[in-house]
Structure 1
Amino acid sequence: MNVDDILSNPDEHVRFAAYLDKLEHVADPDEVDLVSRVLTDRDQTMAQSAVLRHLDRRAANLYPGPAYDEWAQTMTQATIDRPFLTQRLREWSLFHAITLELPWQPDDLLASSNWLQLKTAAGTNTVAVELLAEVGRTKRIRNTARIGLTHHGE
């Protein structure tokens, strides 16, 4: 099924599943074009949800390695007019920096979403985890960070 066929299907659930399948199997050179096409869907909430899942899956695989930065820049350009998606990419880049112990700013982490704070609280960067144990946005984030500190101290 090509993207035009997907776009013409009246059932957004069918389109969503088809987009996820296409995005999961897209070749790197075709990724930007496919993301851009998916974002032309008439159901913007569904289209952005499919792209978000794709970005999360790809970022989770790429963030520890050298290909991450170029990929994130490319995807940011592809999603530049979608604030939620560009924000998620910024947060993946912050997670990338924190996890690899590259330079990062504590204020950026404290201003980030609950999603990133919780993901970071469960991570291995002691400075970030200690910060979130003290002043994470929610009780769940603070508790996750405290538990992480206990386990790292063993």
Structure 2
Amino acid sequence: MNSAEGHGRMKAGDPTEEAHEPHEPAESAESAESDEPDEHLRYAAHLDALARVAGPDEPGLIGTVLTDPDRTMAQAAVLRHLDLRAAQLCSGPGWEEWAQTMTRTVARHPFLTRRLREWSLFRAVTLRLPWHEDELLAASDWLQLKTAAGPNREALAVLAERGRTKRIRNTARTGLARERKRER
């Protein structure tokens, strides 16, 4: 006698299985959505709105998002938006004006302001514009790691020797080796 027979249950896939197993109705999309915490729904709505915003409306929308009662969630949504936009604009001619506008917009939010400064430093390193070693060494792990994965040999050498973490130093060393192979 197998255990299914011993407990009065049929094998999986047996058409009579429902008679022995309680059947839970599938949760509708509406009820599943209502179970989602409010801050998750607002975060998704903020990301959606930020993804759709056009030039002159961007600062106003960011300001509105930053008034959300959940400050941490609001700043996370704005941070994600700034990272996406900065990556798009970083090497182009629209960077300076956008970065200045965004810096004014998030001026009362130190973490967001710092991220914009770090994007400006990343841009300088990437485009081989003037930058200072001390700024790079004082930057966050995020920026050091992002820079260590890039092609600027001078920055790679600095980070390979003095990057804050072992991961940053190793990534920079790997980048230096990669760049040396490209030269050959």
Q: Equivalent of 1:44, from 71, 92, 113?
A: 71
- Do structure 1's residue 75 and structure 2's residue 102 form an aligned pair? yes
Partner secondary structure for residue 153 of structure 1: helix
Q: Distance in 2 between matches of 1:114 and 1:27?
A: 31
User: How far has the Cα of 1:69 moved from its partner?
Assistant: 1.0
Unmatched runs of 5 consecutive residues or more in structure 1:
1-9
User: Which digits, 9 at most, give the CA deviation of each residue in 1:86-118, with x for residues without a partner?
Assistant: 000000000011100011110000000000000
Letter in 1 for 2:52: H
Question: Which residue does the alignment assign to 1:6?
Answer: none
Partner secondary structure for residue 48 of structure 2: helix
Letter in 1 for 2:121: L
Question: Which residue does the alignment assign to 2:83?
Answer: 56
More helix by share: 1
Letter in 2 for 1:131: V
User: Which digits, 9 at most, give the CA deviation of each residue in 1:49-98, with x for residues without a partner?
Assistant: 00000000000000011101110010000000000000000000000111
Alignment of 1:6-21 (within 5 A): 11-21=38-48
User: RMSD over aligned Cα, in angstroms?
Assistant: 0.7
Query: What is the percentage of aligned positions where both structures have the same residue?
Result: 66
Equivalenced residues, count: 145
- Do structure 1's residue 127 and structure 2's residue 154 form an aligned pair? yes
Q: Distance in 1 between matches of 2:125 and 2:41?
A: 37
Q: Equivalent of 2:112, from 85, 100, 117?
A: 85
- Do structure 1's residue 142 and structure 2's residue 172 form an aligned pair? no
TM-score normalised to structure 2 length: 0.78
Letter in 2 for 1:89: L
Letter in 2 for 1:141: I
Q: Equivalent of 2:53, from 10, 17, 26?
A: 26
Unmatched runs of 5 consecutive residues or more in structure 2:
1-36
Letter in 2 for 1:140: R
Q: Distance in 1 between matches of 2:156 and 2:178?
A: 12
User: How far has the Cα of 1:30 moved from its partner?
Assistant: 0.3
